[in-house]
Chain A
Amino acid sequence: MSTTAPVRLPRTVLRLHRTALIVWGAFVAGLTGWLVWLNEVTVDAVRAAQARCSSTSWGCIDVIEFLDYSEPTGYVGALTCYSFLAVAAFTGGSLIGRELESGTARLAWTQGVTPARWLAAKLAVPALVLTAGGTALVLVFRWGWAANRDLMGDNWAFADVFVARGPATVAYALCALAVGALTALLLRRALPALAVSVAAMWLLNAVLERHRARLWPAETRTSPKPFELPYDVWRLEWGRTGTGHRATYHPASHFWPLHLVETGIVLAVAALATAAAFAVLRRRTA
């Protein structure tokens, strides 16, 4: 029994949460397919409209068809970035909260699975699935977002684009998993745990988003004469001072330092929440 438990437990977790697994798979596949469609099919129509415009000598001021491409691409980025809210809801509500509320967790604990191993499996299996899906989404979005930059009006510093273009997406999902588990273990009721997990993750994201620019030293440029900044910088402050012109900004090369620092913070929160969840569980079950 105890020898087969480690093998069987992940399978049980997958079976119990089959619906969630299917939804997550459909989500990843759907967003991937959408982005491929946008960059392979929609973009041709947009280019055709663009070509019609540029055939005239004056060109067009704006090509309305651009929106058919840029808006959905933006949606894909937003959905990728904020998918961690759904993860928090799922973990707090369904993965852990409901099992504690209905007592099925105790069933597992008396079926040859220690509470710690139960929680480990409940977190490890979704963590693997989320890491795999999240990595796929990030890679696809990095490709799709970069493929037709001239049709997009956003830049790398947009809140959701910033997260969706790197490992922070996965970090937020893992953090949501840990925070959801912790709140569920503390509250032991599905619906309150769901609400609190989502609120806590939203808050964490809002705080980090607000202070994102300070996670890496920004560059400052002063000049007595007016100057232009490259188009792809994240402009923080810009204006005239008593003696001249001054701009504070993050150049595009700051994306990775900024992004990785934020990823690190989120992962640290995830680790703390996981440790706390195991501590709570140990105290509860003795």
Chain B
Amino acid sequence: MTTAPTAPAGPVTTTARPDRPARAPRQLRWLLRLHRPAVLAWTAFVLVAGAALLWLGGPLTDASAAAWKDYNACAFSERCSYDQDAIVRYKDVYTYTTSAVLVAPFLVAAWAGGSLTGRELESGTARLAWTQGVTPARWLAGRLALPAVLVAASTGLLVWLHRLAWTAGEGRIDTAKPWDDAATFYANGTVPVALALAGLCLGALEGLLLRRSLAALTTAAVVLGGLWATVHTALPHLWPTVTVVSSLRNGPSGAGIAVGEGVLTSGGDRLSAPCSSGMIPGCRTELADLGATGFYRDVHPVAHYWPLQLTASAVLLVVAALLALTAFRVLRLRTAGPAGKGGPA
């Protein structure tokens, strides 16, 4: 063995490499440094939304509840004074904060697509990092792991505060949204957290695939919208429903998220209802002709709230994991992987 011919004898570069540096590159602090404006903006967003939720759950709820109490107390009396502004303010702030909670996953997806990966591939700084001691896989892992923790923690905080605020008004404010109102249903549970994580992985993947920040930003936000719509459509079918059977006189009943309704026959068949109440003479005969014994309605009662939320979240987390895996796979195919089976066959 000889050294390279032009190299002088002596301590070549070997001193700089004491067999395999065990220390991993410290890329996380640089990730935070590079995305400092985004981190600051996100922190401001979470703080403002969180403060608004605390305000909503505390003083605003109390004021609105008091106003409703006054209003209901003077129902038919001639003299009535109640704080209408308090009721309107509660409603406004509730709408704004709920929207903020639901918009958060889209902000994450847009940022992840536009800034986290798309921009780095577009400008070539990703290549800089990959040749500066950070392997592509580690580069992507850092770009997914740290934001995932921060995003999960902050969106988790927001939905928790939203739930607290909503619970505070339950039963005290006549116009408070019911649990199964779509926006409230989502903002009170874990779905936004899972959606934000899916948005993060989706954005990262789009950035890798499209290699253009604005295109990735747009696509990530739009595809996340599609993902949410899909989950929304599938949600009622993610957990077995409860069938509420009611008499022919009363018509179908059962509160909650309705999945289907109709009439039951003596043979146990389920038929679609021709009309909605046995109190109506024409309807009574029609029901009798069908041999109906009662109405049924398949619903998710309030007790199904958490099973539905958690199943939907689990589905979204699986999607997020698949997206992340795909991102790693794309990166591996694109760049030369480690020894052995690096590139495509």
Contacts and interface: CB of A to CB of B under 8 A. Distances in A.
A239 interface: yes
Interface in B59-103: 78-80, 84
Contacts of A239: 80, 84
A240 B282 contact: no
A237 B119 contact: no
B102 to A, nearest CB: 14
Interface string B114-142: 11000100000000000000000000000
B282 A191 contact: no
Kindly name the residue among A55, A56, A61 whose own CB sees the greatest number of chain B CB atoms within 10 A: A56
Contacts of B188: none
Interface residues of A, number: 22
A58 B280 contact: yes
B283 A191 contact: no
Nearest to A195: B41
Interface in A31-87: 52-53, 55-58, 60-61
Nearest to A63: B276
B277 interface: yes
B16 to A, nearest CB: 38
A267 interface: no
B214 A58 contact: no
A194 B275 contact: no
B8 interface: no
B279 A190 contact: no
Residue of A57, A58, A237 with most partner-chain B CB within 10 A: A58
B79 A242 contact: yes
Nearest to B276: A60
A98 B214 contact: yes
Contact of A58 (B37, B115, B217, B277): B277
Nearest to B218: A89
Interface string B211-224: 00111011000000
A144 interface: no
A93 B280 contact: no
19 contacts: A53-B275, A53-B276, A56-B280, A57-B280, A58-B280, A58-B283, A61-B276, A93-B217, A94-B214, A190-B213, A190-B214, A191-B115, A191-B119, A191-B213, A191-B217, A194-B214, A194-B217, A237-B84, A242-B79
A27 B279 CA distance: 47
Contacts of A58: 277, 279-280, 283
Nearest to A23: B218
A192 interface: yes
Interface of A: 19, 52-53, 55-58, 60-61, 89, 93-94, 98, 190-192, 194-195, 237, 239-240, 242
Contact of A240 (B79, B214, B274, B279): B79
B214 A93 contact: yes
Contacts of A89: 218
Q: Is the interface of A mostly helix, strand, loop or mixed?
A: helix
Given A52-B274, A53-B275, 5 more contacts: A58-B283, A93-B217, A94-B214, A98-B214, A237-B84
Contact of B281 (A52, A57, A98, A240): A57
A55 B276 CA distance: 12
Given A56-B282, A57-B280, A60-B276, A192 B37 contact: yes
A59 to B, nearest CB: 8
A240 B84 CA distance: 12
Interface in B105-164: 114-115, 119
B182 to A, nearest CB: 11
A50 B80 CA distance: 40
In order of increasing CB-CB distance, the 3 nearest A-B pairs are: A58-B280, A56-B282, A56-B280
Contacts of B283: 56, 58
Given A56-B275, A57-B282, A58-B280, A240 B115 contact: no
A52 B213 contact: no
Contacts of B217: 93, 191, 194
A195 B42 CA distance: 12
B220 to A, nearest CB: 13
Contacts of A55: 282
B114 A191 contact: yes
Contacts of A57: 280-282
Nearest to B282: A56
A230 B90 CA distance: 27
Contacts of A60: 275-276
Q: Which one of B41, B119, B276, B277 has the highest number of Cβ atoms from chain A below 10 Å of its Cβ?
A: B276
Contacts of A195: 41
A163 to B, nearest CB: 17
Contacts of B78: 240
A256 B296 CA distance: 48
A55 B286 CA distance: 12
A71 to B, nearest CB: 11
Nearest to B283: A56
Contacts of A191: 114-115, 119, 213-214, 217
Contacts of A240: 78-80
Contacts of B41: 195
Nearest to B281: A57
A93 B218 CA distance: 11
Contacts of B218: 89
B115 A52 contact: no
A53 B275 CA distance: 7
Instruction: Tell which of B119, B214, B217, B280 has the most Cβ of chain A within 10 Å.
Output: B214
Interface string B2-31: 000000000000000000000000000000
